[in-house]
Amino acid sequence: MKTPKYTIDTLHKEFPNDDVCLDFIFQKRYGHLDYCPKCGVITKFYRIKTRKYYKCPHCAFELYPLANTIFHKSDTPLTKWFFAIYLFSNGKNGTSAKELERHLGVTYKTAWRMAKQIRLMLQENGGMLSGIIVSSTP
């Protein structure tokens, strides 16, 4: 074994709640930004608690890390999404909607929609969570 196996425990430790998940996605998408794209001031965006966006402290410009992602407009917690992506990345042939339904405790309809979107995301570019979530696959 070259790298330590990325297990379900690792996932839960790394992403214990939705805030951590959101920060992770923010870092992935906008972590390289050291200035505000609107006002140009060198700054750090801060998280609006209870909301899913980040704000520039100078001009109040907003960044929505979930925009244009599969997580956008979903009522399903990010932790469940991350778990689902984990299951997909580890199963040889992905995961069925039925399995997602059982593991996540969501409705079959939700599970089916998640499965479809995750499949698309992984097909397109290995997924934006690749490298972290998919780190256990050779």
Which residues sit at the interface with Zn ion, rule CB under 5 A?
A: 36, 38-39, 56, 58-59, 61
* Min dist. Cβ of residue 117 to Zn ion (A): 32
Name the residue nearer to Zn ion (CB basis): 51 or 102: 51
Task: Tell me the C-alpha to C-alpha distance, in Å, between residue 117 and each of 29, 46, 62.
Answer: 19, 29, 26
Q: Residue 36 or residue 106: which is nearer to Zn ion going by CB? A: 36
Kindly tell me the burial class for residue 49, based on how many C-beta atoms sit within 10 Å of its own C-beta (0-12, 13-18, 19 or more).
exposed
Closest distance of CB 68 from Zn ion, Å: 21
Alpha-carbon distance 13 to 16, whole Å?
6
Q: How far is the CB of 21 from Zn ion (least distance, A)?
A: 25
- 38 or 98: whose CB is closer to Zn ion? 38
User: Smallest gap, in angstroms, from Cβ of residue 66 to Zn ion?
Assistant: 20
Which is nearer to Zn ion, 26 or 86 (by Cβ)?
Answer: 26
Length of the chain: 138
